[in-house]
Structure 1
């Protein structure tokens, strides 16, 4: 089952209206500041104007049309701030629900059953975050760490899968440093969620082309979503891994993004910014022989198919 309508923070949007590229995994507002150093923060008031300016610039220069913001419960999510950024930048934004990986879990993960957790997600998806009526359009970034999810992470993943099945949404995961993606996919599909409604996150941090090919072969999307984060992985390695996936015939399963998750990554603070994908990485892909149709597939059609559940022939 699929839908032609995307739930954005400013209202329903037909996928046919998305004519330019999509950033498949970003954060426009968040707070992951466990250390108390203020680094892993994108504050709506302090950093919102810089975020808005970057997105508006990317819309003007690269026709950026949609951002999937995967900031969920426990990550400092702020749907109203996302709506303000979307309106001011002129770029559609999809907001998320679910739970990140265990260090950021909210109390209900310890006290509620999988069924209760799923019900909580369904109510938010169908009823909206609050009285404003803003609705999530995706579940993510539902997280785990290590090769096998912990018990609370397993409950979170299973609840997300059940909510996705009930509401016809898709699930994007956080696989810490790229690990555990196959275990995540097993858990999600065991709950009845089709693999093509799943994106396994941070696979560009895992230097294992065999895993990428297996995930894609099973029908899941493989997210190369930390492009430009050189302290985690070089873009040289990302390029090699992505080209291997394309050469294996899985271009229709690749998603690309930058996962901006600290204010220091913003262009205004000397960082690579949300536009690193367009300014640096895509030109390198083109230089390696990837044509514009494949670029459009990975940066527009694939994320739209992921969000809607549509097939290759439909988008």
Structure 2
């Protein structure tokens, strides 16, 4: 059992799968949206999985190597209810790799909702989230440090997705956590943000997901100007979007003065993405994409802002330029 502490609610601390962690201990970059243990297999082909056995050791090895080579300081793991979450496996991966991991609660988008969402109203869903945030995952003693990835698909969330988004906002307000969303192929982010903020959640406690899949610089600027974080979190997934387009969109947002609202990650969500299986791996951001960002003229202070300070500000709710 991990030690619980009121420090989990203090803005200078993160809640990780191995206990509370001072923000000051995170000296290197963070991956703001990843999956280390996951099961989204609906086709029966075993592709959309990252199982503790057999994939856990390869995941652990990658994270340990990134800690050694790039100083990887944190992983925000957004596998939630109905997505094959594995708290014990996350704790083991974190301990063995030496990389702190923040785990999540919430519900993904509607095709992946478990039966518990059906027929439950916003109040019941909120209570379930608050209970898990306070008490932990089952009897593991491991508690979530973020709500995510809260999903919708299309330009407007469905009825069940709306209830889940509202419940997530209420639970976030009640517990002091932040909300990271899944906007399917980048669509629907404005509607998500409207629902979340309409329920009382400040925009700087929201990260709108998968915006690098949406070639719409004006939407990105609008989200950032509202105060929300804009997640470019599928870096390296070339079958969805080229990194060349991602780079153009990122540079446009930075040049518009919104580097302080950018989050970056790779969203590894299939075992074929692991380096051990010939994929780009969790380190694609550091090995491939950030060198291109630097070559485009972005300086090291802005790189640190986007990869370290922003994720920490998002998670803690610190709404300042510096952490």
SS at match of 1:147: coil
Bigger shift: residues 101-110 or 184-193: 101-110
Matched residues in 1 for 2:317 and 2:294: separation?
A: 28
Task: Provide the rounded CA distance (Å) in 1 between the counterparts of 2:96 and 2:145.
Answer: 20
- Partner of 1:51: helix, strand, or coil? helix
Choose the corresponding residue for 2:263, options 237, 240, 255: 255
Partner of 1:40: 48
Given the two structures, how large is their TM-score scaled by the length of structure 2? 0.96
TM-superposed CA distance for 1:311, in Å, is 2.3
- Shift of the alpha carbon at 1:109? 1.3
The aligned runs of 1:272-283 (5 Å cut-off) are 272-283=280-291
Q: Give the structure 2 partner of residue 208 of structure 1.
A: 216
In the alignment, which residue of structure 2 is the partner of 1:284? 292
Q: 1:95 aligns with which of 89, 97, 103?
A: 103
Partner of residue 11, structure 1 = 19
Q: Measure the CA separation in 1 of the matches of 2:271 and 2:90.
A: 16
SS at match of 1:249: coil
* Contact 2:309–2:322 under 8 Å retained in 1: no
Root-mean-square deviation (Å): 0.9
Contact residue 63 and residue 97 of structure 2 kept, 8 A? yes
Q: Is the 8 A contact 1:56 1:89 kept in 2?
A: yes
Q: What TM-score results when the alignment is normalised by the length of structure 1?
A: 0.99
Deviations 1:241-269 (A, max 9, x none): 00000000000000000000000000000
CA distance in 2, matches of 1:158, 1:3: 23
Cα distance in 1 between the residues matched to 2:174 and 2:298? 38
SS in 2 for 1:289: coil
Residue equivalent to 1:268: 276
Shift of 1:295: 0.3
SS at match of 2:83: coil
Unaligned runs of 5+ in 1: none
Residue 312 (structure 1) shift: 2.2
Q: Secondary structure at the match of 1:158?
A: helix
The correspondence of residues 233-244 of structure 1 with structure 2, limited to 5 A, is 233-244=241-252
Tell me the residue number matched to 2:172. 164
Within 5 Å, give how 1:1-315 maps onto structure 2: 3-313=11-321, 315=323
Q: Which stretch of structure 1 is more off in the superposition, 130-139 or 200-209?
A: 130-139
- How many residue pairs align between the two structures? 315
Deviation at 1:313, TM superposition (A): 4.5
Structure 1 residue 182, shift from structure 2 partner? 0.1
Offset, 1:314? 5.0
> What CA deviation, in whole Å up to 9, does each residue of 1:110-156 have, x standing for no partner?
12110110010000001111222100000000000000000000000
Q: Which runs of 4+ in 1 moved over 3 A?
A: none
Shift of 1:4: 1.4
